[in-house]
Each structure stands twice: as structure tokens, then as C-alpha cells.
Structure 1
Amino acid sequence: MQYISTRGGMQPLPYCETLLEGLAPDGGLAVPEVMPTVDGETLERWRALTYPQLATEVLGLFATDIPREDLARMTAAAYEPFPGAVVPLRDIDGVTLVGLSEGPTLAFKDMAMQFLGQVVEYALERKGSVLNILGATSGDTGSAAEHALRGKERISVFMLSPQGRMSAFQRAQMFSLDDENIHNIAVEGVFDDCQNLVKALAGDLDFKRTQHLGAVNSINLARITAQVVYYFWAWLRATDAGGWTEVSFTVPSGNFGNILSGFFAKEMGLPIRRLVLAANENNVLDEFFRTGVYRPRSAAQTLATSSPSMDISKASNLERFIFELVGRDAARVVQAWSDLDTQGYFDFTADLARFVDEFGIVSGTSTHADRLATIRSVYETTGDVIDPHTADGVKVARENLESGVPMLVLETAKPEKFAETIHEAIGVELDYDTDLRAMLDAPQHVTEMADDEQALRAFIQEHALR
């Protein structure tokens, strides 16, 4: 299996080399040269596998340059330490919740990051190199990455986050770490400003090469492929053996990475009827899938909401979907992003029907009032407490139920990460165990920085591994 760029300017590369690159040299994103496929007989064989075993099988279709025994060792190291079930499923009020928050940082990002930490270290050891990871987070990516990569000798992490835009819990999960290889940088602005800084430095090929820069944001190939696994896992547990039952998935989405993995699973042959994108008030993606026009908002127009991990208006992974939408025509992808730069939007209204008819993607928006009402209704009906992002998913899922089609909602995080919103919704003060309380009370280590590319360059040059 080889990987090419959405913009056509990268020679095919194997999995390990691609995941160390981040952005392709031409500014595009890596995609499989040919999407692997899975048939019904294979799916049935996979029903009896544990989660690490299933991860080995699915990831083995993408990472063909990694010996199977090495891959199995890495998936075991990534998922077997989970304290309980890796991905439990439970029914809540007409939909099935796919539990993706059982990892060390209580968020779905752990599902990919725990594997990424293993495979990046493996690739660096094989290459005899180091990697300085430059990332941006709106909340959960940063903590998941830092907890997966802390203490690793060949890796240093520079994680940008927007000042004042994350919950207190999210800040504590990141800023309480004092490992020498972890550098937290709080940037004046919003998530998109952080993401723009990452793209600017990653697009400077000389700087990227000399500073050994890589990425762990959702553009990283290892994250996308690792997330594909739980779509297969959830389908295998939500359906009966021997059948070919279609299910739908609702995915709270800001950067389009999580739902893109579902799109990959569908393209591989998994029987998915609908992929339902749930947006918050920063609903640029919902507008795109309803109108065909993609028009990102400025930093000033990006709202601070009670589902902060989705406070994003420029979805980095949308480019991978557009590449498939235009029949893998790299020139059209380049033109679309040129239009974005020159006129602030691109227009695919002529392709709008294909979003649903061919690719099965629909969308909806949830507001602060919606998520409070959803958290309240789920709690009153089932006794379960769900986090605000998952509530966005449940709200939009309920609007897209179809008779006879199971609806699975991907959980985003544990409610403890957003205690203030939970209290506002149901009046309950969530309890923290001893470890979580110690984390919240620990000293915080963070560098505050203006939205300044040169200041960031200087900081990286001073602290990067070489």
C-alpha cells in the first residue's frame, strides 16, 4: 500500500514514511493510492476478535510496510492497558452510544493517539531519526497527544492551543504535564489561528526539514486509519452474525477527521447507510453539506461555545473528502483551495446530491440550548450523563433516524471534562476521583504567545530535538 497527495505533487510513499511527514511536500494530504476493501466473509471472521486484534487486521490493510508481528505488538501496547472495555456500546433513548472515551484522557482522541504514539516511535527507531511534533488543539487532541507521547526519547511535542478557549479540565490535562519533551503554547486567538501557524511552518519545507517537524493533528495518516477501526468494531457489535445490516453513524465534528475515518470505512465496504455530521454553532461544515458552498469564517466570527472542541471553522480533513468527490482529480483540489484563498469560499453545489446519494453524508446543527436540553433529556430518561459534544451528536442523530436502521452515535468525551455545562444542564456536581483532583490542582506549565509566526519559529528552534 502506497500513499499519494490530494494535490498530486508527491511520489507514492509507504505508511511509515507518510505518517512522519504530516502535510505532503505540495501542501496536500496523504491518501491511499488505492482504498483497501473488505468483504462479508472477512467481516464475519472478525467478529470474534478483541479490539487490539481487530486493530491489527484493519491497520494491516493500510500499514503494509510494517511486519504483522510488529503491528500486533503495537496495537496490544496501545489498547490492552485500557482499564475496562476498550469501546463499549450502550443504548440511550433510541440511539446506541459508541463509547470512545475509556482511554487515559477521557476523550475519543485516545483511540488514535495511543496507537500513533507506538507507531511513530517505531518508525523513528527504524529510521534512526527524531521528530518534533507541531500541533494545534481545540481541546482534546492536545492532551491525548501529550499523554501518548510524553517521555519518548525521539519525540518532542509543541502543542498550540487558543488562550481561554478550552475548559479548565482540558487545560489542566495538558498544562499539568512537566515532561521535558512536552511544550504547551497558548496562542492569542482561536483554534483556527493555531492551525494556521501549524500550516505555515509545515508549508516551509526548509524549516520543516531542518527542525524535523511532523504532525499529530487529525491530518496525520495514522490517526485517520486508527479511527477506522472503531467503525468496524461498532458495526460488528451492533449487528447480528451472518447479516448485512446497514447502520448509520452520527459524528460530532469540527475538523472532519473523525467522520472522514467513517467515510474511509464505508469506502472499504462496511455497510454504512448514512454518516451524519453534527456541528455546533460554528456550523461551516453543516452549511457545506446542505448548500454545497464551503465558506470558512474568520477568527472573529468563530464563536466560543459550550462544545469547545468543535469551535473550528476551517476543517483540515475536508480536503481528503473533496479529493474523492472530484474523482481524485488533484488539479480540481488545487483549484478549490485556490478559490478559497482568493475569494474566501469554493462552490460544489453541482455535486450536492452526491453528498447523500453516493457518499451517504448528511448534517445538522446543535446550539447551546439544544445541548443543554439533550443532556437533560438523556439524564432524565436513562440516568446517563453525556458530555456537550456527544449531546450535539445525539440531538442531530434524533433528527436523522430511519426506520429499521440502527443509529450509532460516537461518544466524544467523558462529562467530567465539561463540569460547568453539565451543572447548567442538570444541576449535578460531578465527582472527581483522587487522581483527577490532583491533576486539577497541580501547577501548570505553559508558554503564552502572540499569534506570531516568527515568535513560534524562534521557540521551536530553541527547544527542538536534533
Structure 2
Amino acid sequence: MRYVSTRSAQVPGLPFCDILLEGLAPDGGLYLPESYPQVSAETLAHWDALLHDQGYAAVAFEVLSLFVDDVPAADLRAICERAYAADVFGDPVVPVTELSDDVWLAHLSEGPTAAFKDMAMQLLGQLFEYELGRRGQVLTILGATSGDTGSAAEYAMRGRHGITVFMLSPQGRMSPFQQAQMFSLDDPHIVNLAVAGTFDDCQDLVKAVLGDAPFKAAHRIGAVNSINWGRVVAQVIYYVVAYLRVTHAARTAGQPLPKVSFAVPTGNFGNICAAHVTRQMGVPIDALILATNENNVLDEFFRTGVYRVRSGAEETSSPSMDISKASNFERFVYDLLGRDGVRVAELFGPGLRATGVIDLSGTPEFATLRERYGFMSGTSTHADRLATIRAVEGADGVVIDPHTADAVKVAHDLRGSIDGAIVVTETALPVKFSATIVEALGREPQRPAAFEGIESLPRHVTDIPADADVLKQIMSDRLASRTQG
């Protein structure tokens, strides 16, 4: 398996471990496999048996083996077993529960930071440490977070040999709980930087630094945002597992296998990009339901064919989706346009910078998008979130977080057009967004014991302007004493 950039047709492509450490491609594009591996019904049946006999880590190994051929099998299996151990995620990993109207929840928030980002970050931490040790190198992680990526990355990377993390977040834009999870960490190799601006500003800073090839090379900088293919492929695993669990439940009950669709709350197109890859691999997913909040750039595209970057992201009660520039969207457009790297480079490079718009509305590719790729979309508002949280708690006795509520709302809106089971990918435990839960239900959400008093801990964070030169100077100063490998 080799990987190419969405903005070129380089041949031969690069192996997995090279792009794992590199993150963004040198031409500014994102890495994807030269082609997606294909799975058969027999393979899915084998994975189903493995899942219910040996657990999540066994399926993770099988899926990753299709994408990773430069790590020995025994090492890759051990990496998966460490990443998805019961003491990290509980047992079983990624259980599913059925709600009303044949809607299911895939529980992705049982990890160390109570967010779905843990599912990929714990694996990424293991992979980084393994490959750096094999090469005798160090790595500087530069990331941006709109809420959960930061804490998940920091908890996954802290204490790992040879890794220093710089995490950017928008000042005042995350919930108090999310801020506390990140800023309470007191570790010289974890550096929190609060940027004056939005998540989009943070993301632009990351791309600016990664685009400075000499600086990137000098400080050995990689990425943990979903621009890193390692993040996306790790998420493919839980789509496979959730599909297997829902179909297994039907088989066990003596029912016909249902069609299975996924409803995914998204702002940066990373999570649903993994669902898209899973579907392209041949896993028989019916519809991919994309749910946005008031920052509905992606919903607008899937309805109209026009991708229109906004001047800034609106601040909402599902803050992890407060994004107006969806980084991973480029990966989907690359597939949509027949993997034409030259065309993608123009659309996402000079074209997007000049106009802020990508218009595919009149193209034959957009005309057949729903038929070829299964996408449907919708938008949810603050009032919708409150109503959905109340409705799910009233009907099913389950409290969901605001982002998950966005997906449930859109799934119900589109239910008339979709047959079979709809699996909503849970985003986080409700405790991370207690103010919205209190507004919806009039009471505080349940708080796991591990998170008691987290908001009162000392904060370790530095405020900075949205200036790439300032960021690079801070990084240089903090890294000056690090021994180069």
C-alpha cells in the first residue's frame, strides 16, 4: 500500500510510516491510498467472528493490515492491543445501543478524555512512539483543536518518548470542561497556546507552519489533526465495528440483515471522511448522513454543489463543529473528481484563496454524487439541540451531548428517505457540555469520578495572536534544548 497527495500524481507513492510522521504533503495536499482496499462479504463475516471472539483490537489489526505494510504483523497487532485495551476504553470497545425508530448510538466516548477523538489518538500515540523508536528520531506535534482533538492528543502523547506537543485552541471558544482537560496538564512536553481568533485561524496557523518546509524539517514537525491520514484510518475501524455490531444484533435476533446508514456530526469532514472511506472499501453502508450546526458550509455543498468558506465561524452550543473551512473535504473532492490531482490543486490552492468558493454545482460529478457516494445532509440549530436532547432522554432515558444531538436531529429529519438502521456516531459524554445539558434538562449531567474538580486545577496555557511568525518563535524557543535524534 502506497500513498499519494490529493494535489499531485506522484509515482511511486510513499509508505504508511513516512506519511504518518509527515502529516501534510509537501505540495499542501492530503495523503490518501493510491486505491482503497476492497473487502468482501466473506471478509466481513470473518471480522464479525473475530470481533465477538477476540474483541475490537483483533478487528483493528485486520483493518489496519490492509493499509499498513511497513510494520511487521506482530508489532502491529501488539500496537492495536495496547491502544484498545480494556483499561483504556472499557469492554466492549464501541458498544452500540438501540434508540427509538431504529436509530442506534455507536458509543465512541468511553476513552480517557470522554470524546470520540480518543479512538484514533490512542492508536496514533502508539504508532508514533513505535516508529520514532525504530528510526531513533524525535517528533514535534503541532495541532489545532475546536474542542476535543486537543485533550485527546495530549492525553495520548504525554509521557511518550521523543514527542513534544504544541496545541492551538481558539481563545474562549471551548467549553470550560474542554479547556480544563487541556490546560490542567502540567508537562514540559505539552504546550497549550490559546489563539486570538477562531478554530479556522488555528487551523490556518498549523498549515502555515507545516507549509514552511525548512522550518518543518528543522524541528521535525508532524500533525495529529485529521489532515494526518493515520487519524482517518483509525476511525475507519470503528465504522467497521459499528456496522458489524448492528448486523450481528439482527442476525442474533433472527431478523433479516438491515440496511445500515451512518449519521455523523461534523465540521472538519474528518469523521465522515472515514465513513466515506469505509463505504468505498465495500462495507455495505447505505447512506452517509452529514449533520452540521449553524456553521453549515458542508451541508450547503451537499445540497447545492457550492462550497463557500465563511468569513468566520459562528460560536454555537456544539463548539467542536464551529468550523468554516473543512480541511478533510479536499480528500472527498479528490475522489469525487476522479482523483484528478491537478484539478484539486487548482480548486483548493489559488482558486479557493482568490474567491473563497468552490462551485461544482453544474458538473456531472456533482449530479451523480448522491448515487455514487450515498451522501445526504442537514443542519441543526441550538433550539434543535435542546429539543433533541429532551426528546431522546424522554423516549429512551439516554442523555446525549449537543453534537450527537445534531446528528440525531438530522437523522430524524431524513428518516423518511432512508430504510433500515441509522447509526449515530456519538461525539462525547454530556459532561463536557454541561451548560447546554442544564439548559435542556434542568440538571447537571452525570460526571465520571475521574473528572471531579477538573475545572479548579491550575491552568497551563499561553495566549498568542493569530500570527505564524509568533508561533514559530515560541516553538523554536521551547524546542531549543531538545536533543535532536
Is 1:47 matched up with 2:48? yes
- Partner of residue 327, structure 1: 338
Offset of 1:9 from its aligned partner? 6.1
- Partner of residue 86, structure 1: 93
Aligned ranges 1:407-426 → 2 under 5 Å: 407-426=422-441
Question: Bigger shift: 147-156 or 85-94?
Answer: 85-94
Question: Aligned partners of 1:135 and 1:411: how far apart in 2?
Answer: 23
Q: Which amino acid aligns with 2:409?
A: K
Offset of 1:48 from its aligned partner? 2.1
Aligned ranges 1:234-383 → 2 under 5 Å: 234-239=242-247, 240-241=250-251, 245-299=258-312, 302-337=313-348, 338-349=350-361, 350=363, 351-383=365-397
Q: Which amino acid aligns with 1:460?
A: M
Query: How many residues matched?
Result: 464
- Partner of residue 460, structure 2: 445
- Runs (4+) of structure 1 exceeding 6 A deviation are none
Offset of 1:433 from its aligned partner? 4.1
Please list the CA deviations of residues 289-328 of structure 1 after superposition, one character each: whole Å capped at 9, or x if unmatched: 10101111122xx110000000001000011101101101
Question: Aligned partners of 2:445 and 2:422: how far apart in 1?
Answer: 28
- Partner of residue 445, structure 2: 430
- The secondary structure found in structure 2 opposite 1:156 is strand
Question: Aligned partners of 1:439 and 1:404: how far apart in 2?
Answer: 43
- Partner of residue 473, structure 2: 458
Question: Aligned partners of 2:156 and 2:214: how far apart in 1?
Answer: 28
Please list the CA deviations of residues 206-247 of structure 1 after superposition, one character each: whole Å capped at 9, or x if unmatched: 110001110000111111001001111011111145976431
Aligned-residue CA RMSD (Å): 1.3
Please list the CA deviations of residues 261-315 of structure 1 after superposition, one character each: whole Å capped at 9, or x if unmatched: 000000000001110100000000000110101111122xx11000000000100
Alignment match of 2:163 (pick from 142, 155, 170): 155
Question: Aligned partners of 1:232 and 1:434: how far apart in 2?
Answer: 31
Q: Which amino acid aligns with 1:76?
A: E
Offset of 1:126 from its aligned partner? 1.2
Question: Aligned partners of 1:199 and 1:417: how far apart in 2?
Answer: 28
Please list the CA deviations of residues 67-102 of structure 1 after superposition, one character each: whole Å capped at 9, or x if unmatched: 111111011101112233210101122210110001
Q: Give identity over the alignment, percent.
A: 55
Question: Aligned partners of 1:404 and 1:303: how far apart in 2?
Answer: 34
Question: Aligned partners of 1:92 and 1:439: how far apart in 2?
Answer: 31
Offset of 1:119 from its aligned partner? 0.4
TM-score, normalisation: structure 2: 0.94
Alignment match of 1:139 (pick from 144, 147, 159): 147
Contact 2:259-2:419 at 8 Å conserved across structures: no
Alignment match of 1:72 (pick from 58, 69, 77): 77
Question: Aligned partners of 1:102 and 1:353: how far apart in 2?
Answer: 40
Question: Aligned partners of 1:118 and 1:246: how far apart in 2?
Answer: 34
Call closer, same or farther: CA 1:262–1:431 in 2, change over 3 Å: closer
Aligned ranges 1:191-206 → 2 under 5 Å: 191-206=199-214
Call closer, same or farther: CA 1:431–1:202 in 2, change over 3 Å: same
- The secondary structure found in structure 1 opposite 2:373 is coil
Question: Bigger shift: 434-443 or 67-76?
Answer: 434-443
Call closer, same or farther: CA 1:4–1:455 in 2, change over 3 Å: same
TM-score, normalisation: structure 1: 0.97
Question: Bigger shift: 109-118 or 3-12?
Answer: 3-12
Question: Aligned partners of 2:160 and 2:318: how far apart in 1?
Answer: 31
Is 1:113 matched up with 2:126? no
Question: Aligned partners of 1:272 and 1:246: how far apart in 2?
Answer: 7
- Partner of residue 99, structure 1: 107
- The secondary structure found in structure 2 opposite 1:194 is helix
- Partner of residue 58, structure 1: 63
Unaligned runs of 5+ in 1: none
- The secondary structure found in structure 1 opposite 2:264 is strand
- Partner of residue 399, structure 2: 385
Q: Which amino acid aligns with 1:361?
A: F
Q: Which amino acid aligns with 2:128?
A: V
